[in-house]
Structure formats: structure tokens, C-alpha cells
Amino acid sequence: VLGVQAVCRDAVVTQQLLQEGFHRDLLLQVELGVTKEDLGGCTVAARTRLPPGIYVDPYELASLQRHNLTKALVIPDAVDVEAPEYLAAELLVLLYMNPDPRCSHCFTATLPVHGRYHRPAENNSTVLVALKSPEILICCCDNHLLTECWKPSEVEAACLGRSSYPCQWYSVKHKPANEEFMQIPVGHRQHGFLVCVLTLLATVLCSSMILAAACRYGHFS
């Protein structure tokens, strides 16, 4: 059993958005005050809230989980990937973390995130969407770590990824990570009329070509 001082040591959390544009990877890293050997049988997870301007694709996430590249729960599990920012709601993601082989008391996880379309702006060509610091959670069903310094958390998720394995999750005290900002391109409001005209012309042209090809090569009974 570990001493209280070891458990009470604040964790250090960092988050970083990789790549550029609408499609990014959110890299989360946590440095705990205990080693992964002491955490044998424990599960570490990050609970992060994604603002309406950012979403995760559940189909992409399911594909990654089938290949054991990531494991996460999204609440709600039904995500409208086509909704613009002003019609979307925030998402709650529980991301299971893996031990970092380069550090005996560190854990890491990567989550693919995507930017939503925003309303056109008057002057700005981009908007900034802030990602706040995640909450770090831990459950130790097969371990006897002292929990005097951890706050119980109501999380309905499996410990160790086993849906039939109930366990108490705890919120780990940590220094908040710096906010990350996702820069998303937006259109200019003054270009709205031009965009509508060009879209209409392109639609009429493509429809005419399809109709002409159907009349020329189609077989009608």
C-alpha cells in the first residue's frame, strides 16, 4: 500500500493539437505521482468536454477501436457530423490512456477531432475554438491504492475496459493544462451573394450535363 504523500502528489497534464486545418489530433499526456508498477490493475482516463465548434467522428472512432488504436466513450453516442457550430452541442469524451514506454509514471492518448463550419464573419478569416483542460480519472479495481486524496467521481464507464466490471472512479488532483486553440477558417459575409450565384450556376450546369448524358445514352422503354 502506498503512502498518502505519494498519492497526494499533483499530476501534471499537457494537451496539444497536432496538424493544421479542420482535421486534427488531440494529444493528451499525464504525469502521475506514482509509477505504472504501483498502478498495476488500474485504469487511467481523461474526461474532456469538446465545445460545439469541435466534434469527434463516431465512425472513425469505431474503426480505430476495432484496430486497438484508441479506446473512448462519447456522450451522447449519436453525433451529427454535418451540423454547423451554431446548431451543435458540446460533447463529453472519456478517453482511456495508455502507459508511456518512455516514462514509468506517464500515460498518453490521442483523439482525432474535427472542426465544424462556423457562421461567416465580417472581417476575420478564422475563428479560435478553445479546448479546456481535461479531468484526469483513475480506477483501481485490482489494486489497493490509498484514495484519501482523490475525489470520487460519478462515471458510468468500465474500469479496464470491461463492461461487466463495476468500479469506483476517482478524480486525480492535477495542475490544469494550458488551453489549446483550434484555428478554423470561416467565410466572409460580404461574399455570400457571390457564393450563392456560383453555387446555383454550378448546380444548373451539372444537372444539364447529367440530363443530356441520360437523354443521349440512356435506354428508355
- State the architecture of 11-186 in CATH terms: Sandwich (2.60)
Instruction: Quickly state the pLDDT bin for 142 (edges 50, 70, 90).
Output: low
pLDDT at 5 over 50: no
Listed in sequence order, the DSSP H helices in 38-191 are 58-66
Mean pLDDT to the nearest integer, 190-210? 88
Tell me, letter by letter, the H, E, C secondary structure of 19-31: CCCCEEEEEEEEE
Q: Where do the H-state alpha helices sit in the chain?
A: 4-8, 58-66, 192-217
Q: Which of 121, 133, 129, 48 has the alpha carbon at shortest distance from 88?
A: 129
Residue whose grid cell is 488551453: 179
Structural domain spans, the chain:
11-186, 188-220
Q: Which residues contact 185 (CB under 8 A, 6 or more apart)?
A: 21, 22, 125, 126
Please name the residue that has the C-alpha cell 508498477: 37
The pTM of the full predicted model, rounded to 2 decimals, is 0.78
Considering the chain, what percentage of its residues have pLDDT values greater than 70? 86
pLDDT at 6 over 50: no
